[in-house]
Chains A and B, each alone.
Chain A
Amino acid sequence: MKYIDEFQDPDLARRLLDDIHSTVTRPWALMEVCGGQTHTIIRHGIDQLLPEQVELIHGPGCPVCVTPLEVIDKALEIASRPGVIFCSFGDMLRVPGTGRDLFQVRSAGGDVRVVYSPLDALRIAQQNPDREVVFFGIGFETTAPPNAMTVYQARRLGIPNFSLLVSHVRVPPAIEAIMQSPTCRVQGFLAAGHVCSVMGVGEYPELAERFRVPIVVTGFEPLDILEGVRRTVAQLERGEHTVDNAYPRAVRPEGNPAARAMLEDVFEVTDRAWRGIGVIPDSGWRLSPKYREYDAEHRFSVEGIQTREPAACRSGEVLQGLLKPHECEAFGTLCTPRTPLGATMVSSEGACAAYYLYRRLDLTPAPREATPVV
């Protein structure tokens, strides 16, 4: 596909890697914020190709991973109600709530449907006027505008049987929370490119200055990741800490003004709990008073559901790079991708799930491969 294939080119990747190898002189810990970037890193084995001195800490940017248990439990409760059609992005279905997941709600008779776009859920609401259609509105600043537009459209078109279960989160407060931790090890950030496509880069200079960390807006293909690492390492080696845009083909400084205006209208900033991390002030969005009637928590009276995270899960420390996943007591025994205790084991992009795979490889003897064929 154009603008994807070119950015996976092995020859150019080698040039970028050469440049990083020749630049780095000492250890640096970088955090890629977004789960999509973690996916690319694992999928292409990029972390193994970087110099030993460059450590990538997988950040809390997987929306599936960080959605708090309490919100999952609210989703499970709403999806179990008769007359409800509960629509969600696919990868939320496997996330365990307290004792069950959305697959199990479906197998017990709940009408749970996977959609690719919130507009699909709105269409289902139009086609089923006698049913309540709820969309599970998770995600960062990238996914919030589509969900905001869907609520806006529901209001404009007068579709009363649609509502949104909102658990939107924002990146800058998470970066701030990570940097404020006294034990923080992160020295540079690869900021999430598609978040910046929407929001622009205006929120970052203050963070870069206050915490003296380089923040490099980074894309999602292998070459984009390598370029983000290259520019971050170059800044660190020079002792600089500025905001840089390594993804200019998709990120303008001002972001997308139309989308930002819609976010202002439909949502308001609120405190939000992050699974495995805890409450981060001002780190999320909820529906603004004008749209509150579309709030599924309100419509289904599930505000009272309160759940605490499992005590054994140390994903908060993993997300901050303080603990390697396999150093957790539950890792690989009580907590596996099949039976995840927490956020980072849930999604295939989560740091613990990624480690689970590589740890298994690590524990086996080094390969004595047969001579290559062909």
Chain B
Amino acid sequence: MCLAVPGRVLDIEERDGTRMANVDFGGVVKEVCLEYLPDLQVGEYAIVHVGFALQRLDEESAKQTLELFATLGLLQEEFGDPWEMAAEAGEALPSAGEEARK
């Protein structure tokens, strides 16, 4: 279910009475059916699954989500972050045996 990838609409045309678009996935362009997003416009992003645009991607919401993430853990930063210290110490990861536990 659900390998769906965000792409940007490049152009839209009717084909066989069906609304189709060329959609750009970071430089890779594929043909996509827009019948389920009839008001999607050129330049907008959509979530695409097996050749169909299923939902408009809300760019403002994506931005807000990332901004929220960036505010997390600011407290730890002040007092020293155990993860950062672990990262600085190199590959200070749990042993493979422990990792495999789950």
Residues of A at under 8 Å CB distance from B? 1-4, 6-7, 12, 14-19, 22, 34-36, 45, 47-48, 55-56, 61-63, 89, 116-120, 139-143, 145-146, 149, 153, 156-157, 192-195, 197-198, 220, 223, 227, 248-252, 255-256, 258-259, 262, 358-359, 361-362, 364-367, 369, 372
Contact B95 A6 (CB under 8 A): no
Q: Which chain B residues in 61-93 approach chain A with CB under 8 Å?
A: 61-62, 64-66, 69-70, 72-73, 76, 81-84, 87, 90-91
Contact of B2 among A34, A119, A157 (CB under 8 A): A34
Contact A142 B73 (CB under 8 A): no
For A157, what are the chain B residues with a Cβ–Cβ distance below 8 Å?
16
For B2, what are the chain A residues with a Cβ–Cβ distance below 8 Å?
34-36, 61, 140, 142-143, 192-195, 220
| Chain B: interface size category | 35 or more
Contact A249 B52 (CB under 8 A): no
Contact B72 A15 (CB under 8 A): yes
Q: In the bound complex, how far is the Cα of B3 from the Cα of A197, in angstroms? A: 13
For A195, what are the chain B residues with a Cβ–Cβ distance below 8 Å?
1-2
Contact B59 A367 (CB under 8 A): no
Distance in angstroms from A90 CB to nearest chain B CB is 11
Q: In the bound complex, how far is the Cα of B52 from the Cα of A134, in angstroms? A: 19
For B5, what are the chain A residues with a Cβ–Cβ distance below 8 Å?
1, 4
Contact of A145 among B52, B59, B81 (CB under 8 A): B52
Q: For B68, give the chain A residue with the smallest CB separation.
A: A227
Contact A116 B50 (CB under 8 A): yes
Contact A194 B100 (CB under 8 A): no
Q: In the bound complex, how far is the Cα of B64 from the Cα of A102, in angstroms? A: 45
Contact A140 B1 (CB under 8 A): yes
Q: In the bound complex, how far is the Cα of B37 from the Cα of A349, in angstroms? A: 30
Distance in angstroms from B21 CB to nearest chain A CB is 13
Contact B69 A149 (CB under 8 A): no
**Listed A/B pairs (16) with beta-carbon separation below 8 Å:** A2-B8, A4-B26, A6-B62, A16-B69, A19-B72, A36-B3, A45-B99, A47-B102, A143-B1, A145-B52, A220-B4, A248-B58, A249-B57, A251-B55, A255-B55, A256-B55
Residues of B at under 8 Å CB distance from A? 1-6, 8, 16-18, 25-26, 33, 35-38, 45, 47, 49-52, 54-55, 57-59, 61-62, 64-66, 69-70, 72-73, 76, 81-84, 87, 90-91, 94-102
Contact B51 A367 (CB under 8 A): no
For B82, what are the chain A residues with a Cβ–Cβ distance below 8 Å?
18
Q: For A195, give the chain B residue with the smallest CB separation.
A: B1
Contact A139 B51 (CB under 8 A): no
Distance in angstroms from A121 CB to nearest chain B CB is 11
Contact B101 A362 (CB under 8 A): yes
For B6, what are the chain A residues with a Cβ–Cβ distance below 8 Å?
1-4, 250
Contact of B25 among A1, A192, A194, A372 (CB under 8 A): A1
Q: For B63, give the chain A residue with the smallest CB separation.
A: A249
Distance in angstroms from A69 CB to nearest chain B CB is 20
Q: In the bound complex, how far is the Cα of B16 from the Cα of A146, in angstroms? A: 17
Known contacts A18-B76, A248-B65; A361/B102 CB under 8 A? no
